[in-house]
Structure 1
């Protein structure tokens, strides 16, 4: 079983590096690097959710091979995971076994935000980002790092905040939704994820804000849940070489 993990806005594949040690040996971690950051820093940024999801889906197709797989995303990564999963459904026999979404309310509902962040001036934008957690204020002291990080983060937020939902049939596979109990932006819309699966939609709360997954204690709890979910796949329940449940 392969687990593809998609980072949040401004993040790189490296945010999932510590997961590998705690995942079950039968689960192969495959962190997806989005264009324009990390190991793909030389590539242009994607400018819309369609480009991001096509890129993610193409890499999943290539890396998954014939193995069964699941997809995890946090915040913007949840949007990309959701859209990529719909693209993968178009590949006969290549649907994910499971979708894990984290730090994002149901995609058909607007987040409960007070304002849009991406149009703000640099200083105001970064102050708003710091308030959300997940980004150290020390970034402001390193102008070179900030000059690289700010355009990536702003573009990611623009994609997330201007996302337009398109109605499609629910997924035929199960969804697990993880969320922080103090995430005021996304918490109200979390239960509505059930609309997007014809199977089971499981909700799991963690004490903390939007970036609860960066807490080492919660990270361990999340990986225990992922291990249990993906290790519960009966050997006969996956058609060989397709990723389909039978």
Structure 2
């Protein structure tokens, strides 16, 4: 894939695959960055070109001003992705709030008559229509209280959160994403005509099985729920099983 310089800041492509027949856009969890999906580009089949999204204010874009309002982020992200979405069939994968972003991006594309994804993968993401509102805000808390709340909600060990590497490398992006999440508001719309696969984890404190399964109500197409071992951040520990599920659910695109 030829990537114009401006798009290297939003749509990354660790391993270009000119002969791929499907592009998989990947959206990281809060506090993460595109490197979360680095191994996916090497380990998924050559028929899939993996394109992790890199948002401003983190990793390779650390010196750029972050976007802290969800509506602004969605509009900017959609405009940057559209040239790639028009080139070939594509699917969206998002973990945690990255799943909410992927879902809202698909609805943005429908509202704006842009190409729709052939499949939507929502991992450790709560079906937002079930929730009466966002969780209690975090962004106003001190670093110590902020990290305690993150540990309670997502099961991340406090020794990891309190480490210097985390404080310097992840905490600023995590605080930015907390602001983004607090500015998000779900608005009812008709279900998407896009197949949805929802991935959950048995020990996830943040997203229970009912919330993972209720994404069924957001599609008129096929729906598949898969539950994995582990807690909220099962994305790394269950990677082989996730690959298998992705390929099974995308099989109709390669027939």
Q: What's the CA shift string for 1:162-187, capped at 9, x where partnerless?
A: 53210111101100000111112211
Displacement after TM superposition at 1:73 (Å)? 0.5
Work out whether 1:156 is the aligned partner of 2:177: yes
Given that 1:3 and 1:27 are in contact with CA atoms closer than 8 Å, whether structure 2 keeps it comes out as yes
Whether 1:53 and 2:74 are equivalent positions in the alignment is: yes
**Where does residue 225 of structure 1 map in the other structure?**
245
Which blocks of at least 5 consecutive residues in structure 1 are unaligned?
236-246
TM-score by length of 1: 0.84
Displacement of 1:27 in angstroms is 0.5
Partners of 1:121 and 1:41 in 2: CA distance: 22
| Residue 194 in structure 1 maps to residue 199 in structure 2 | no
CA deviations over 1:115-170 (Å, ceiling 9, x no partner): 54333221121133245245773553427x62453232122123224532101111
Please say if 1:210 is aligned against 2:232: yes
Question: Helix, strand or coil for the counterpart of 2:116?
Answer: coil
Pair 196,17 (structure 1): closer, same or farther in 2 beyond 3 Å: same
CA shift in 2, pair 1:140/1:121, >3 Å: same
Q: Residue in 2 aligned with 1:26?
A: 47
Q: List per-residue Cα deviations over 1:68-94 (Å, max 9, x = no partner).
A: 000000111011111111111234351
Q: Are 1:120 and 2:141 matched, yes or no? A: yes
| Alignment correspondent of 2:62 | 41
Q: Secondary structure at the match of 2:162?
A: helix
Task: Verify the 8 A CA contact 1:53 1:81 in the aligned structure 2.
Answer: no
RMSD: 2.4
Q: Give matches, 1:29-178, under 5 Å.
A: 29-92=50-113, 94-110=115-131, 115-131=136-152, 132-133=154-155, 137-138=159-160, 140-142=162-164, 146-147=167-168, 149-178=170-199
Whether the 8 Å CA contact 2:91–2:120 is kept in 1: the answer is: yes
Using structure 2 for the length normalisation, give the TM-score.
Answer: 0.82
Residues 28 and 214 from structure 1, CA distance in 2 versus in 1: closer, same or farther, beyond 3 angstroms? same
Instruction: Answer 1 or 2: higher relative contact order, Cα 8 Å, separation at least 6.
Output: 1
Superposition deviation, residue 107 in structure 1: 1.4
Distance 1:180 1:138, change over 3 A: closer
Q: Give the SS at the match of 1:42.
A: coil
Report how many residues are paired.
Answer: 232
